[in-house]
Chain A
Amino acid sequence: MDLQSEQLGETLVIRVNASRVDAAAAIQFKDGMRELTREGPDRCVLDLGQVDFVDSSGLGAIVASMKQLNDGQKLDLAALKPAVDKVFRLTRMDTIFAIYTDMATAMTYDAG
């Protein structure tokens, strides 16, 4: 699972460089996220702009990534493609994350 992280201001941006977060990748994803969020700023944004497909295991791994954060850290999501957005809406898991249309919008949060 190729996860690329970069700190921009007070935000840790984690880009998923893969087309799928699925059952075959879920454990690697969760472990990778634990490593990347172990230290660093309180706000993390997961850039899903490259991800075409998330299945329920991938969704579970994203939820697990949020639950394993340190106290005070939060995980926002950005740039969900249509099939990914559909899974979040269908399961109503869009109600437990702040979700931004794109990375530019996600980053305006810092200015505010």
Chain B
Amino acid sequence: MLADTALMVQDETIKRQGREQAFETVIEPDFLAVRNTSLKIDNHLAAHQLPADDHQNCSIALTEALNNIVEHGFANLDSGEIRIALTVGVTTIRAVLTDDGRAMPGFQLPEGAAPDPIDLPEGGFGWFMIKSLSRSQTYERCGEMNVLTLEFSRGPAN
């Protein structure tokens, strides 16, 4: 199964962009591919020796965003792809997720209200977590593509 996932990663490069390092990859809309990519994003963030909170925020929010794209954007769609571009700058970590799945309802981001724990919710946390953990979220529908940009603050090193 994991070997299959590795094959799904069609393109992956770590480029130098000026003084920033970018992580770029294209994956199939599949939960195993998201897991595989999430682990690679973790390695990439670890290489930058970010403060633990910044690393966790970015890692958790990006995984939630990718899972949401797979679960909602590509529900009942046979194929497609998700592009991920992550740059770790001096003060900002920026991720751009582009996919050719369905548009967000109303062409806008979900409200992301927190489910009430008392209801013992088994889901619905995704966008609440993304909005809580990132500094800004921008969504645009561009032709047949969804473009989601998430930015995170990068604090001083520990």
Contact = CB atoms under 8 A, between A and B. Distances in A.
A106 to B, nearest CB: 21
Interface string A21-53: 011100000000000000000000000000001
Interface string B7-49: 0000000000000000000000001101100100010000000
Contacts of B128: 91
Contact of A22 (B35, B42, B120, B121): B35
> Chain A at the B interface: mostly helix, strand, loop or mixed?
helix
A55 B71 contact: no
Contacts of B70: 23
Interface in B78-99: none
Interface residues of A, number: 25
Interface size on B, as a range, is 20 to 34
16 contacts: A22-B34, A22-B35, A23-B35, A53-B42, A53-B59, A53-B60, A56-B123, A57-B123, A60-B125, A63-B122, A66-B120, A86-B60, A90-B132, A91-B114, A91-B115, A95-B117
Interface of B: 31-32, 34-35, 38, 42, 52, 56, 59-60, 63-64, 67, 70-71, 114-115, 117-118, 120-123, 125-126, 128-129, 132-133
Interface of A: 20, 22-24, 53, 55-57, 59-61, 63-64, 66-67, 82-83, 86-87, 90-93, 95-96
Which 10 A-B pairs have CB atoms at the shortest separation, nearest pair first? Answer: A60-B122, A56-B125, A24-B31, A23-B31, A23-B67, A83-B56, A60-B123, A24-B35, A92-B117, A24-B32
